[in-house]
Amino acid sequence: MSDIVISLRDVTKRYGMSKVLKGVNLDIEKGEIYGLIGKNGSGKTTIFKTILGLSEFQGGTLFVGDEGDTLKQGRAKIGFFIGTHFFPYMTAKQNLKYYCKLKGVKGARAEINRVLEIVGLKDVKSKFKAYSLGMKQRLGVAAAMLGNPEIIILDEPTNGLDPQGIADVRNVLKKLNEEYGTTIVISSHILGELQNTAHRFAILNDGVIANVFSQEDLSVESEYEYIKLKSSDIQMAKEVLEHVGIEIQGEKKETVSLEDYYFNVVGGQENE
Ligand code: ADP
């Protein structure tokens, strides 16, 4: 059985008279990138704040961390990014030094260099107020990574970013997950973006999780099994396939994705 590191059972939460979470059930497995999808105001941030203990919940149960952990011990294993909260007149290093002190991270100097290297901000000397939005978001992700937490929660980390910024954050998250095995929970209302990043997804609708599905579910939704064929002579390739008895049941000309097209034009890259 896979390890569950975050589990919500019938969690309810209201702000005043308004019920925001109406019995949320959610299981997040160790080592996965999990995408929480929902329109603005659907309660994604509230779920995160509940998991982190920044917001009280009224009903249901919550488990965080590894087997035997108390809620406090489990929560200590989470790094998070919910909006950027940095001092504008300080550099990235100075800001992160502050967060190291706040979080009690040991060996701050080396740790700050490590996380800044991962997000590509190590050589930036300017103050936070001069950063582009993408740099600010990346510094937020870096702050969440301090102390190499087992779990990272990111609330809309690509919100307001341009395509290059979105690709940068996506690559950082993939690297973190693949190289460090970090479990990542990420919310977004940009579906195409989450599809490129997460292994599993949950749709939050009207205060409940309406659907949970995986990348595999998305790929088997298709009616046919299919392969992609790239050739200088498609007609000839089709004839060869038919000649050896392989029936072509359908064909679809693929268009270039908007993102690829954009990067072709502006010359940016997805720095894999
Ligand atoms: P999302 O992150 O999906 O955009 P939120 O969790 O921020 O959604 O908000 C869910 C709902 O709860 C919204 O209707 C929002 O207005 C309300 N809400 C969020 N925070 C508060 C608060 N501190 N007090 C009252 N209502 C709140």
Q: What is the mean pLDDT of each run of 10 residues along the chain (272 residues)?
A: 87 94 97 91 94 93 94 93 89 95 91 91 93 89 93 89 82 90 90 83 89 80 68 87 86 67 60 42
Verdict on whether the full-model pTM lies above 0.85? no
What is the pLDDT, as a whole number, of residue 263? Answer: 63
Under 8 Å between Cβ of 194 and 188: yes
E strands, the chain, are 4-15, 18-29, 33-37, 59-64, 78-82, 151-155, 183-188, 200-205, 208-214
Q: How far apart are CA 203 and CA 167, in angstroms?
A: 23
Which residue is closest in CA terms to ligand 1's atom 26? 15
Q: Reduced to 3 states, what is the DSSP secondary structure of residue 59?
A: strand
Which residue is closest in CA terms to ligand 1's atom 5? 43
- Answer whether 43 contacts ligand 1 (Cβ < 6 A): yes
In sequence order, what are the residues at sequence separation of 6 or more whose Cβ sits closer than 8 angstroms to the Cβ of residue 150?
Answer: 5, 30, 65, 77, 78, 182, 183
Atom of ligand 1 nearest to the CA of 47: 6
Q: Which residue has the tokens 């952990």?
A: 69
What is the pLDDT, as a whole number, of residue 224? Answer: 62
Ligand 1 center–CA 37 separation, angstroms: 15
- Answer whether 177 contacts ligand 1 (Cβ < 6 A): no
- Answer whether 20 contacts ligand 1 (Cβ < 6 A): yes
Atom of ligand 1 nearest to the CA of 39: 3
Note the pLDDT tens digit of each residue in 182-195.
999 999 877 777 88
Q: How far apart are CA 146 and CA 201, in angstroms?
A: 26
Note the pLDDT tens digit of each residue in 30-46.
999 999 988 888 899 99
Q: How far apart are CA 259 and CA 162, in angstroms?
A: 10
Q: How far apart are CA 149 and CA 130, in angstroms?
A: 28
